[in-house]
Amino acid sequence: MSMKKRILVTGSAGFIGHHVVMALREAQFEVVGLDVINHYYDPALKYDRLKEQGFDRSRIGYNTCIRSSDNPSRQFILLDLTDARTLEKLFQEQAFDIVVHLAAQAGVLYSLENPMAYVESNLVGFANMLEACRKHPVKHFLFASSSSVYGQNLEIPFSTSHRTDQPISFYAATKKANEVMAHSYAHLYGIPTTGMRFFTVYGPWGRPDMACLQFARCIAEERTIRLYNQGNMWRDFTYIDDVVTAVTKLLLRAPKVANKKRAPEAPYRLYNIGHNQPVQLLEMVALLERGLHKKASIDLLSMQPGDVPVTYADVESLVTAIGYRPRTSLAEGIGKFLDWFKAYYTAHPVEKAA
């Protein structure tokens, strides 16, 4: 009988999920990636990530588990998390030890246009994941939350002890809902659970709707960058390798009840995963300009709905838990991102956006 830990990574064709899957190469892990590959952004990028993982696009079919050509301990399945019956069958067949739930409908602005996509993926899909973990118990359930949950919080740096009951976007509301839903299952059913509030993750294979890749493409294609709040926007940019290190360290540290002799405490923990050093967006633009040897065209606009002027992570509880602090500087991270960007978009030219 195999002694390898079986890990399910949902959203494995997504940005963070792809890097987590690639990091779990050690012999003690059997990794199953899951994704629905929707059209929120160009699916070609998602399929290219899967190709990097060793999966042949021609073999991908709904509810068909395929094995990587590069790593026999890595599998992938195309599955919609709203398909509760098929999801539960997968859990029954695979007997997962750990679940890293990164699948979600992302994006603050898109939640203003299509809120039902967030209901289906972030609420219904999340509830289905919790139910699957309840019926087929796992040793650790980790899930992606977001710095967006801090909403109108004015205390900085943002701490997990701060209030998060004033979300200012529907996306943020669904991520806050995930946190309280997961806590209830941890309390009721003893599922060891860890929530991870990610802060503006960037790097190779990033999402096209996020600032780093969006700005790089605008500069390269000589299109105008829109900066809101007249450019006075600060973000706690966190390089993908730092995020993956935090996730892979946390997945082997499932929370436990502090003291069983006292009132029961849910085996539930929340962590900020951020760089702990906010940077103005204009500084990122300047680094991209230097790396691409082009000047950006910038349009300064007023604040947009659902957005916040600053994010800033207090990561001391993360450091205490895993002995690791995100450390990649923005200049170093942008350099690595641009190496990938130049190679990828030279090999995969795209039409200029209107």
The pLDDT tens digits for 250-307 are 999 999 865 555 557 899 999 999 999 999 999 999 999 999 999 999 999 988 887 7
- Let me know: does 202 contact 237? Beta carbons within 8 Å: yes
* Among the listed residues 136, 137, 164, the one whose alpha carbon sits nearest the alpha carbon of residue 151: 164
Residue 84: name the closest of 116, 38, 132 by CA.
132
In the block, tokens 């800033």 appear at 312
User: Across all residues in the chain, what is the average pLDDT?
Assistant: 93
- Give pLDDT, residue 303: 86
Helices 84-94 and 125-135, interaxial angle, to 10°?
A: 30
Query: Mean pLDDT throughout 321-334?
Result: 96
State the maximum Cα–Cα separation within the chain, in Å, rounded to a whole number. Answer: 64
Query: Do residues 40 and 106 lie in contact, with contact meaning Cβ atoms separated by under 8 Å?
Result: yes
Which residues are tagged catalytic?
Answer: 171
Q: What digits encode the pLDDT tens for the residues 147-203?
A: 999 998 888 899 999 999 989 999 999 999 999 999 999 999 999 999 999 999 999
pLDDT confidence tier of residue 352, bands split at 50, 70 and 90: very low
Residue type, 118: Y
* Angstrom distances, CA of residue 172 to CA of 119, 242, 278, 306: 12, 23, 20, 9
57 within 8 A of 51, measured Cβ to Cβ: yes
Euclidean distance between CA atoms 74 and 51, whole angstroms:
12
What is residue 1's predicted lDDT score, i.e. its pLDDT? 45
Smallest CA-to-CA distance from 81 within 139, 120, 30, 136 is with 120
User: Distance between CA 73 and CA 21 in Å, rounded?
Assistant: 11
Q: Specify the fold of 5-199+239-274+313-326.
A: Rossmann fold (3.40.50)
